[in-house]
Amino acid sequence: MNKHYQLILWICLFFASFTTLAQGNTQQTGKPNLPAYLQNSGLASKPTKDTVRFEIAPVKFNSKYAEICPTFYKQTLMYSLVKTTHDFPHTRLRWAKHPDIVPYYIPHPDSLNQAKPLLTATSETWHFNSGAATWQPHTEKVIFTRSIHKKSSFGDIFKKAEPERLGLFEATTNTHVWFNLAPIFPLDSLNYSEAHPSISEDGKTLYFVSDMPGGFGGTDIYVAYKDSTGKWGTPINAGEIVNSPNNELYPFIHEDKTLYFSSDRAGGMGGYDIYEAIFNGEKFVRAVNMGVPANSPKDDISLIVNEPKRICYLSSNREGGEGSFDIYRMDVKLLNISRNLTDGGENVFGVMNIEMTGQIVDSLTQQPIKKAMVKIRDFNNDDIQVAFSDNKGNYKFIISNDNKFQISSIRIGYNASAEYQFSTYGITTPTPLSIDISMRPIIYTVTLDVSVIETSNSLDANILPIPDSKLVLKEQQSGKIMEHRTDQQGNYKFTLEQGKTYQLTASKDGYQNSVPYPITTAKRHNSEKIEVNISLTKLEQTTSKEAIIKALVIEKDTRKPIQNATVILKNLQNKTTAEKQTDDNGIALFEVDTTFSYILESIKEKYQLDQYVHIFPKGMQTGVMVESVLPMKAVTYTAVPLDFNIEPVYYQSGKVTFDNEIMKHLDEVYDLMQKYKSIKISIIGHTDSNGSREANVILSQKRANAAKNYLVKKGLAAYRIVSVSGVGDERPLEKCEECTEEQHKKNRRTEFLIVER
């Protein structure tokens, strides 16, 4: 290998490889007669070109620089960019304040001019080159390769420079910024390196590369397991099936436990080749060269494969590229039933269309439901198809095999169906597929909100709720009676049937009974709400009494008391406030006047309060102690104010696309979600009353989907959006028969409802 070729290879491999590591530690001990990695490699002859099963092409974002180390990173693709087109010295690569190697992420591999650099909140990191990364599933953590060094002194100037060493570090991430950096393994030795992490789907098994002593030669692939405390155990060599006397780099562990890696072992096609190591449930049984087009006479490295094994990305310096290294996408057109990319044979099958049908039925009557909107989502590329059931409730889609899908349906007058997931993995013939969906009809009811308050002859008097007052509701037709008590806020909710007549009365000891209130519920297509305020007159004058409020602040999960929390008591009538700090037992005491009502809340750094506590001591005896518990959740994020809400987005009539004002508002929503890490939302689309009901449902769903896609592509974790739905014009803010344009605009909204703080 000539010097020029070595230098190009070293430039690519240093950031997430480590050529110094790989070449400087190769053991020239001689090869055994027939090593395991050759016995099981399938290399009896040179790998041949496979143009039937695979199709490969460079991605659009390649440049004149070197692109290496593609990685699946949340909803995006991450890669590393070596920003140089000429040779550069090792000292510059190690000490430059602005390194030549920068990690980037891009929303979609087909995007152009949308790549963004990853940043770090630790300024020290910029003095050293960071390397290949793996995102830990279901967390906000990432494990990556980073340069490490020993602290130098004046005397070190006259010593021989030590080789660069690499280590594995963990960081917390909000997609485009990494912070809270910490080493995975103790940095008690700088005599060997650890790099190129890849983590299993369950987050408990970590593969990486190291030149630590005791390997098979050069750099080997190692594995570490996470214990019950979250710590990584002692690394174990992956064995002689995977490793060889030469250098193994860039492991990638697939969800089915197949391991992909690069190696310059004997029997390859030239330079570094990509191999597939087959796992039989207990151990790796063979490692097979992936052949052409995955490999070439040049260096082919860092292959990653998506879950269905239909799309791969790799980096290569093969002929015809834009820069020294480019990233290529390899599509798997034909996939063997074994799902091993290196297996051929008669069982190989390709992409085919499958007809999927089904019927939408009423869960109570089992009758077909017509004009239901059926939605199917493709997990492979996130595409969505929509269809409507016909007069017999039937629907039809054309889907592909070897894929995963999610199907659901909505219809006015029915509850949305459950989101049912299914797959077409392993289907080798275009056999029709049928899935019936049941939908539960909405039984329309009327909500009766009753509030019982105290009357007063004073014009300046505050409205005081009457807790524990007795409510009697009698249905006039059947004579059925319902009795309930109001809550601490003097409220109670009844659920009534439509088309009925009722009579409501309220009473409380010490107050004059109310007159009967007639309640009538009309038959309507949509549910409604009736609000009734009942005033009761107190029989005797209330005198001022003193009571004690005992506020107990505890941790929500452990139930342990929280010391030095600030407890705030707010008087609802005269608007005064009082503050106290909790003692060692998490307690704060307040003396209060029983003629007023109060609100309690607590504040402490790194804790989140779920909700206010309302106190109504009216009518209590002097000296009575009222205990209120304030559970707070320990958090690592910015606490969310209890009165915090997200404003909706408003649209022009009939439009789905975003104008500058909408994008600006969605950017604000994204920034708020990044500020308050604990918030989860539901996105609900609404329209005005123009157009048909079915068209409005589709339009509102598209708007809601567009808002979600915008936020996710910007970097918001998809799991923080709990649901996305469109309800058309069913829930207008402005209820009007002949609405003005201003009223229509208020109804054309997409809401972001906070479902978890």
- Residue 676 contacts by C-beta under 8 Å, 6 or more apart in sequence? 637, 638, 640, 644, 757
**Over 185-247, what HEC string results?**
CCCCCCCCCEEEEEECCCCCEEEEEECCCCCCCCCEEEEEEECCCCCECCCEECCCCCCCCCC
pLDDT at 73: 78
- Superfamily of the domain at 445-537: Carboxypeptidase-like, regulatory domain (2.60.40.1120)
Place of tokens 């190697």: 101
Residue 626 sits at the vertex; the CA angle it makes with 621 and 629, to the nearest 5 degrees, is 170
pLDDT at 89: 38
Token pair for residue 647?
């404003």
Q: pTM of the predicted model, to two decimals?
A: 0.54
Q: How far apart are CA 233 and CA 488, in angstroms?
A: 54
pLDDT at 644: 77
Helix (H) or strand (E) holding 593: strand 587-593
- Residue 720 contacts by C-beta under 8 Å, 6 or more apart in sequence? 673, 679, 680, 681
Residue 221 sits at the vertex; the CA angle it makes with 215 and 225, to the nearest 5 degrees, is 105
Q: How far apart are CA 198 and CA 203, in angstroms?
A: 10
| Ranges of each domain in the chain | 3-349, 351-439, 445-537, 546-634, 649-756
pLDDT at 618: 67
| Distances, alpha carbon 645 to alpha carbons 640, 673, 706, 753, in Å | 10, 11, 21, 8
Token pair for residue 733?
């803010």
Determine the 3-state secondary structure of 671 from DSSP: helix
pLDDT at 40: 53
Q: What is the DSSP letter of 338?
A: T
For the chain, how are helix, strand and coil distributed in percent, rounded to 5? 10, 40, 50
Closest CA to 262 of 191, 207, 185: 207
Closest CA to 239 of 38, 385, 37, 458: 37
Say yes or no: domain 649-756 is CATH 3.40.50.150: no
Q: Are 442 and 412 in contact (CB under 8 A)?
A: no
CA 256 to chain centre: 22
| Distances, alpha carbon 65 to alpha carbons 5, 621, 659, in Å | 16, 80, 35
| Distances, alpha carbon 556 to alpha carbons 460, 607, 631, in Å | 40, 10, 5
pLDDT averaged per 10 residues, the chain (length 757): 43 42 43 50 51 86 87 82 57 39 77 70 46 76 77 45 72 77 76 88 92 90 92 93 94 95 92 94 93 93 90 91 88 85 78 91 91 91 89 94 90 90 83 91 84 68 82 87 92 86 88 83 67 81 69 88 92 87 91 85 86 75 79 81 82 80 90 85 89 86 90 90 88 83 87 82
pLDDT at 619: 61
Cis peptide before 293 (omega within 30 of 0): yes
Q: Are 555 and 578 in contact (CB under 8 A)?
A: no
DSSP string over 265-299: -TTSSSSSEEEEEEE-SSSEEEEEE--BTT--SS-
Domains 351-439 and 445-537 fall in the same CATH topology: yes
- Superfamily of the domain at 3-349: TolB, C-terminal domain (2.120.10.30)
Q: What is the DSSP letter of 540?
A: S
Q: Are 131 and 80 in contact (CB under 8 A)?
A: yes
Four-residue CA torsion sign, 7, 11, 13, 18: positive
Longest dimension (CA), the chain: 106
Q: How far apart are CA 640 and CA 637, in angstroms?
A: 9
**Over 430-498, what HEC string results?**
CCCEECCEEECECCCEEEEEEEEEEECCCCCCCCEECCCCEEEEEECCCCCEEEEECCCCCEEEEEEEC
Place of tokens 């407890």: 567
Token pair for residue 728?
């058309």
- CATH assignment of 351-439? 2.60.40.10
| Domain covering 546-634, topology | Immunoglobulin-like (2.60.40)
